Structure 1
Amino acid sequence: MDDYGRLALAVVVVAAVAGTSGAAAAWGWQQPLAPCMYIFGDSLVDNGNNNDILSLARANYRPYGIDFHEGPPGRFTNGRTMVDFLSDMLRLRPPLLPPYATARPEDLPRGVNFASGASGILPETGNNLGGHYPLSEQVDHFRAAVRDMGNTSEFRGNATKVAAHLGRCIFFVGMGSNDYLNNYFMPDYYDTARRYSPRDYAALLLQGYSAQLTQLYGLGARKFVVAGVGLIGCIPYELARMNDNNRPPSGPSNQSAVASEEIGIGGGRGGGKGNGNTNPAPDAAGGCNETINSAIDIYNKGLLAMVKRFNNRGGAQRLRGVKFIFLDTVQSGKDLTANAAAHGFTMLDRGCCGVGRNNGQITCLPLQRPCDDRSKYMFWDAFHPTEAAHRIYAAKAFSSNSTAEVYPINVSQLAAI
């Protein structure tokens, strides 16, 4: 081909690319801020991995998902979850990231959700609810996904290319709620509260958590978003169990007990005020289970310290090329509650769907009629936020400039690295 021919070909190629870009712009398509996202966690972010296993921790029935019209059921809320909104903000859809249980090989490079309701850091956590995938099994599923990804046409067995791809992805991990709700504070089923002080139990959890995060690093993860546990002593389930003197029910040792007949589905991240002994209800004084919240505080402080150690360039735990950010859902929940009216929330201490006191004594039942205006409720059921609350938590994680909420940077800044 002569010089003229090469020039003509170059013009055609440039025009074609420009035309593609123009068409993409015309259709509103934008380049993703990150090429992929992988999600690990419990029912707060599960999108259907438990649907076909023998478990009480499932949400594949109405009215769960009553406001969700983009795919199969399985989310423990009325609509989208925090990670669904984050995938939007990262420009990763449509479609939404699929659950690993139904993902196809061609889905793997863009991202998959491995989260499982009732799961925890400890393998035995949530066994009271039946089948689920603890964090260690979720990591095993990701290991299998990496292997399968290497066999796709996009990578064709090129491990270096797979590693480079994964190094640009966002890894969202949120664990720990069930290790308290469906383990430590369930003394009729588990003996952990008798064997460990709150401080020793938090250390046990963080040791296991650190090991699993390190395994993800070994599989190619470099950009981590680690979510702390919220004020689960202020969720409707716990508020419903407080007696008329705003005291938790008595239990063995010095821990408040979750009675064995009161089953917690999946686990929850609270959105209460949590400043002192303040109830998230605007017209009530006291009410949160501060025994649980105090234990959560120990865990969250340890989790933040772990993130700092991983990020410390000169530290012994430093992982080369890694960046962790910590989501302080306690602080985000406090801010959300303090500004509830501005966000349109009028109901802060009861579930939109449920039975009994605070709609929290029994969680949302099949075919039960939920509240009419879900946008006014912070909680969907006894444990989980509504879509409206999930949206706010995601926005804070993505763009908050407060290091009290997102440390040391936010998700949008992490994606840009």
Structure 2
Amino acid sequence: MDHGRLALVVAAAAMAMACTVEMRAAAAAPQPLAPCMYVFGDSLVDNGNNNGILSLARANYRPYGIDFHEGPPGRFTNGRTMVDFLSDMLGLRPPLLPAYAVARPADLARGVNFASGASGIRAETGNNLGEHYPLSEQVVHFRTAVSDMGRTAGFSGNATKVMEHLGRCIFFVGMGSNDYLNNYFMPDYYDTAQVYDPHAYATLLLQDYSSQLADLYDLGARKFVVVGVGQIGCIPYELARMNNDNQPSGPDTPSDDDDGIVISIGGGGGGRSSSTSSSNASNNSTTKQKPTPDAGACNDTINRAIAIYNNGLLSMVKRFNRGQQLRGAKFVFLDTVHTGMDLAVNAAAHGFTVLDRGCCGVGRNNGQITCLPLQRPCDDRSKYIFWDAFHPTEAANRIYAAKAFNSTSTSDAYPINISQLAAI
């Protein structure tokens, strides 16, 4: 055999061996529980879609992301968000799901994050903070992504294959916080509180929300995770606006200490076990807890309005699951109020010692202004539930995600948890 033929044989054998190794490695790698996840929401789960637009609702500067070293900036927390942890739990890593603003065609089939800080169900929500992408526009972005996905090599224009793929994916949708924080309870900028009482406003939101979820269904979504609004009457921003008698200063009236500053940048986790009302996913009831004596009362006016909305959202999920409107779809409702209250009650067991103030920020409860550029945050972020005036820390996000993914209590995830939804 001449040297040329020998070289070809050796090269072919080496290539075959390399392919065999790759195939064995692929077979040995654990398969994700779901092939993809798509995220819609506000600053609680935004991972950088607002970075390049003219908006006050941006987090692409330190100390935001101080503990995040896996990609571009833009998360409204110190590290990972709830959906980052869920991505891990579903086996969709590495890498983390990209923001739609920077996603490549090759990313689309595995999942993309469309969330935008300050966004809401209503189109005008968050306009006080500048540009952002409301849920309706996030759905438009997804429509474009589906069209682009159909032109990729894996689908080659086969719309049926695209729909079958999307039907196995998780669609995480968390909206509504800003429709209260940056709309209804901001009467100097919006007139919704004058036009609608809390019941009418919740009904209006849920009508729009139902329509937008139906649009996602028409584009191929079948497995939905719908997140309730947390107790935003208990976040540091609202606690900072309570007057010295522990009474709410009113949605448009600053407290004596805040120098007239009423800036909010969207989202709003909820986690303190103060005077609050919560929707319970298993029986749709509400509960009251006494205020924590050393932390002051929450803003019950806001929390009561949130309870109305959450109860209506749970009812909407139950209606969709009956299958008469969106056949073949399955919805999971995450009761973040209940999960947040449980987190606060068991704070010590989770290592939390600070429940009512942000790790960074300005003013009372570190809640009057969000983290300033290059501000030094608290040293031990693991002891804080709140990162800033509105958003949970990475440590709290980890717990919210674990409850959503694994909890067997329908008070956390109704009627099943996310791991069970992925297995369907």
Task: Indicate the SS of the match to 1:354.
Answer: coil
Cα distance in 1 between the residues matched to 2:362 and 2:306 = 26
2:57 aligned residue:
57
Q: Cα 1:325–1:370, aligned 2, differ >3 Å: closer, same or farther?
A: same
1:262 aligned residue:
262
**How far did residue 266 of structure 1 move?**
1.9
AA aligned to 1:324 is F
1:224 aligned residue:
224
What TM-score does the superposition give when structure 1 sets the normalisation length?
A: 0.91
AA aligned to 1:369 is R
**Which aligned runs of 4 or more in structure 1 are off by greater than 2 angstroms?**
15-26, 250-253, 258-261, 274-279
**How far did residue 278 of structure 1 move?**
4.0
Give deviations 1:324-357, integer Å, cap 9, x for gaps.
0000000000111111001000000000001111
Report 1:217-256 matches (<5 A): 217-250=217-250
Confirm or deny: 8 A CA contact 2:87 2:96 kept in the other structure: yes
Give the CA RMSD over aligned residues: 1.9
Aligned residues: 392
Matched, 1:294 2:304: yes
Matched, 1:401 2:408: yes
Confirm or deny: 8 A CA contact 1:186 1:260 kept in the other structure: no
Give deviations 1:286-337, integer Å, cap 9, x for gaps.
4200000000000000000000000013x4xx31110000000000001111
Confirm or deny: 8 A CA contact 2:384 2:393 kept in the other structure: yes
Task: Indicate the SS of the match to 2:140.
Answer: helix
5+ residue gaps, structure 2, are 1-16, 277-286
Q: Cα 1:251–1:406, aligned 2, differ >3 Å: closer, same or farther?
A: closer
Report 1:16-95 matches (<5 A): 20=22, 22-24=24-26, 29-95=29-95
Q: Cα 1:17–1:301, aligned 2, differ >3 Å: closer, same or farther?
A: farther
AA aligned to 1:79 is G
Task: Indicate the SS of the match to 1:332.
Answer: helix
Matched, 1:329 2:315: no
Task: Indicate the SS of the match to 2:420.
Answer: helix
Give deviations 1:25-65, integer Å, cap 9, x for gaps.
77xx3100000000000000000000000000000000000
Confirm or deny: 8 A CA contact 1:125 1:183 kept in the other structure: yes
5+ residue gaps, structure 1, are 1-14
What TM-score does the superposition give when structure 2 sets the normalisation length?
A: 0.89
AA aligned to 1:303 is L
Q: Cα 1:107–1:361, aligned 2, differ >3 Å: closer, same or farther?
A: same
Q: Cα 1:119–1:260, aligned 2, differ >3 Å: closer, same or farther?
A: farther
**How far did residue 73 of structure 1 move?**
0.2
2:395 aligned residue:
388
Confirm or deny: 8 A CA contact 1:188 1:260 kept in the other structure: no
2:327 aligned residue:
320
Report 1:151-162 matches (<5 A): 151-162=151-162
Cα distance in 1 between the residues matched to 2:20 and 2:358 = 51
- Which of 252, 269, 276 aligns to 2:288? It is 276
**How far did residue 19 of structure 1 move?**
5.4
Confirm or deny: 8 A CA contact 1:332 1:405 kept in the other structure: yes
Confirm or deny: 8 A CA contact 1:232 1:293 kept in the other structure: yes
